[in-house]
Chains A and B, each alone.
Chain A
């Protein structure tokens, strides 16, 4: 089963239109929610055990409960800046079932009494943004969004806001700065967005998949939703499997599935004759695992215990034909390019890591450089306003730790190749 809740019937033609969505029972959860007390809804979200699907895995109900009560302009922001390498689940949800997301946003906004909202979508998802725009217009015409939603007296003004190509804008405070019309530089926390977010107002900010799950929690009830999955990792998760697998794609799984069953079962495993060398369990920012870890249960706590994280649910598989040096360099280059430059450890650390990895590749490094590189990673982690630097340091550090032999062999082999090409003393 790979279409349990969020993906149920996702390929149905015309699902992006409100007619088909309503025919399938869409917006029923919203009607029910509007008859419920907002505080009770927040309790339901807490009780469901739903954890943020964007990467951090924080309880959505807790986050919602942090917003202050009272008559104050509050905002809801949907983080649709899906740019973690390897992740493409939110794209599918927005492209195929935009009303499920809109319904989730309206319910969540009602629960925390946010009256203005934005869907911040990455600029590259131009087609998906247009689909959302059209769906939003339909929802407004049917009274699901806008003034006095379904006669309940609750107002929600909702807009689609396009980003313009910056990984850092997926970080929640970077996103808020970008939405306010600035360079996407993360902010010092606290204050957290729940207290002081968009335009200094209390803001509930959640990922597309998290918000798309909300209507299902209202429909099923918190208890029944919490029965899906395993303890502390309730519900279903969309996993995006990519890289060296035979059937890359999005799969909706029940949390707690065995990783091997996802990679080898659903995604078909590496091409014939190859085997898994390493895999990222939760996007390119997660520390890597090896083929010995394939029997781990795919849930938040098990992966955390294994020293990595579930992150955005993007599994990237690298087979044994690939060089770990190339993978590390590719990643480091990405993070160096996307570092916003605000914090020195990240700005300098990512760029020096790229230079050192390039030396490893070219055979001008020494094994001691690996120790320096490992120490640079340690100097980055926990020393910046956001976790972009950590997002490079953790996987690169884990690759050096787990594949140190291969790094050393590569340095030796590349040096020997260099010496053959240009014998010592031949060039300045």
Chain B
């Protein structure tokens, strides 16, 4: 297979691998714990983070990073750089440590996203039941809408209602691709998505409850 070298995306330094255009600035200070005097933190956010820190001892305080990031994401809609600095300030850790954790986990958003989060499971069991068509339908109807944060996601642990999606945290399924516009309309109107299809209403020991047509 011939490769056309002109079509290979390259960085300005000529390599296909990201690097530094400029040499590292050795004069610059390393990342430090943000100074509380110059880092204003909203009181509510500070209270939330401090409540999480109370579970752990002072040396164990990094264990509160994930709960703190949840608090940041709830407040700002994503893990914004300002939010991370604020969390780091309360946690008395460097922003680098907090960022390293935030970038590892799929549920932390590192860029601004729509306020309605929809995870469509596209893992094995759901894909065997038509998840690819379902995700395509979501993309078609909500892919361009800035209000939606639409993502294909790894197994959400609800293969009994495959194909399914987690809509603002509520598990819904099985969803037919044709039902997607109705579901989205409900979300836009602030209603429960497909209420009769929500996982929390399903019985466990009733095989007929999950019988497929």
What count of chain A residues pass the 8 Å CB interface test?
Answer: 67
Question: Which residues of B have CB within 8 Å of A87?
Answer: 155, 157, 159
The reply on B114 being an interface residue by CB < 8 A is no
The reply on A86 being an interface residue by CB < 8 A is yes
A163–B65 CA distance with the chains assembled, in angstroms: 11
Do residues A243 and B69 form an inter-chain contact, with CB atoms below 8 A? no
Do residues B66 and A181 form an inter-chain contact, with CB atoms below 8 A? yes
The reply on B205 being an interface residue by CB < 8 A is yes
Question: Which residues of B have CB within 8 Å of A184?
Answer: 104-105
Which of A82, A162, A180, A249 is close to B204, meaning CB atoms less than 8 Å apart? A249
Looking at chain B's contact residues, the main secondary structure is mixed
What count of chain B residues pass the 8 Å CB interface test?
Answer: 53
Which of A82, A86, A249 is close to B210, meaning CB atoms less than 8 Å apart? A249
The minimal Cβ–Cβ distance linking A242 to chain B, given in whole angstroms, is 3
A residues 340-376 near B (Cβ < 8 Å) are 340, 364
A96–B156 CA distance with the chains assembled, in angstroms: 18
Do residues B154 and A337 form an inter-chain contact, with CB atoms below 8 A? yes
Q: Report which residue of A240, A249, A250, A327 has the largest number of chain B beta carbons within 10 angstroms of its beta carbon.
A: A249
Do residues A164 and B107 form an inter-chain contact, with CB atoms below 8 A? yes
Do residues A182 and B204 form an inter-chain contact, with CB atoms below 8 A? no
Which of B107, B127, B153, B157 is close to A330, meaning CB atoms less than 8 Å apart? B127
The reply on A79 being an interface residue by CB < 8 A is no
Do residues B204 and A92 form an inter-chain contact, with CB atoms below 8 A? yes
Which of B64, B162, B166, B210 is close to A124, meaning CB atoms less than 8 Å apart? B166
- Nearest opposing residue in chain A for B127, CB measure: A330
| Also in contact, A95 and B200, with CB within 8 A (given A243-B124, A334-B123) | yes
Do residues B124 and A334 form an inter-chain contact, with CB atoms below 8 A? yes
Question: Which residues of A have CB within 8 Å of B153?
Answer: 124
The reply on B24 being an interface residue by CB < 8 A is no
The minimal Cβ–Cβ distance linking A376 to chain B, given in whole angstroms, is 20
A337–B35 CA distance with the chains assembled, in angstroms: 37
The reply on B70 being an interface residue by CB < 8 A is yes
Do residues B60 and A250 form an inter-chain contact, with CB atoms below 8 A? no
Do residues A244 and B62 form an inter-chain contact, with CB atoms below 8 A? no
A327–B125 CA distance with the chains assembled, in angstroms: 10
| Also in contact, A247 and B210, with CB within 8 A (given A96-B204, A163-B105, A334-B123) | yes
The minimal Cβ–Cβ distance linking B199 to chain A, given in whole angstroms, is 8
Question: Which residues of B have CB within 8 Å of A125?
Answer: 157
- Nearest opposing residue in chain A for B106, CB measure: A165
A166–B208 CA distance with the chains assembled, in angstroms: 33
The reply on B67 being an interface residue by CB < 8 A is yes
| Also in contact, A181 and B63, with CB within 8 A (given A10-B205, A165-B105) | yes
Question: Which residues of B have CB within 8 Å of A10?
Answer: 204-205
Do residues A163 and B166 form an inter-chain contact, with CB atoms below 8 A? no
- Nearest opposing residue in chain A for B200, CB measure: A127
Do residues A124 and B2 form an inter-chain contact, with CB atoms below 8 A? no
Which of A161, A266, A271 is close to B212, meaning CB atoms less than 8 Å apart? A271
Question: Which residues of B have CB within 8 Å of A2?
Answer: 205, 207
Which of B2, B104, B170, B206 is close to A11, meaning CB atoms less than 8 Å apart? B206
B residues 40-64 near A (Cβ < 8 Å) are 55, 60-64
Question: Which residues of A have CB within 8 Å of B144?
Answer: none
A199–B153 CA distance with the chains assembled, in angstroms: 31
Do residues B69 and A338 form an inter-chain contact, with CB atoms below 8 A? no
Do residues B154 and A334 form an inter-chain contact, with CB atoms below 8 A? yes
Contact with A along B134-159 (1 / 0, CB 8 A): 00000000000000000001111111
Which of B65, B100, B160, B166 is close to A88, meaning CB atoms less than 8 Å apart? B160
Question: Which residues of B have CB within 8 Å of A182?
Answer: 62, 100-101
The minimal Cβ–Cβ distance linking A331 to chain B, given in whole angstroms, is 6
A residues 128-173 near B (Cβ < 8 Å) are 159, 161-167
The minimal Cβ–Cβ distance linking B56 to chain A, given in whole angstroms, is 8
B residues 56-84 near A (Cβ < 8 Å) are 60-67, 69-70
| Also in contact, A181 and B62, with CB within 8 A (given A95-B200, A165-B105, A330-B124) | yes
Question: Which residues of A have CB within 8 Å of B60?
Answer: 180, 199
The reply on B25 being an interface residue by CB < 8 A is no
The minimal Cβ–Cβ distance linking A359 to chain B, given in whole angstroms, is 10
Which of B2, B66, B123, B208 is close to A85, meaning CB atoms less than 8 Å apart? B123
- 18 A-B pairs in the complex with CB atoms less than 8 angstroms apart: A3-B205, A11-B203, A84-B155, A85-B123, A86-B155, A96-B204, A122-B157, A124-B153, A125-B157, A164-B66, A164-B108, A165-B106, A181-B61, A181-B63, A183-B100, A183-B101, A243-B124, A314-B159
Ranked nearest first, the 7 interchain pairs of A and B with the lowest CB-CB distance are A242-B159, A165-B106, A181-B62, A164-B105, A165-B107, A85-B155, A242-B125
List residues of A whose CB falls within 8 A of some B CB: 2-3, 7, 10-11, 82-88, 90-92, 95-96, 122-127, 159, 161-167, 178-184, 199, 240, 242-244, 246-250, 266-268, 271, 284, 314, 316, 318, 322, 326-327, 330-331, 334, 337-338, 340, 364, 428
List residues of B whose CB falls within 8 A of some A CB: 1-2, 4, 55, 60-67, 69-70, 100-101, 104-108, 119, 123-125, 127-129, 153-162, 166, 169-171, 200, 203-212
| 17 new A-B contacts at CB < 8 Å, known A85-B125, A240-B160 | A3-B205, A7-B204, A83-B157, A88-B157, A91-B157, A127-B200, A159-B55, A161-B63, A167-B154, A181-B61, A181-B65, A182-B100, A242-B160, A244-B128, A249-B207, A249-B210, A428-B4
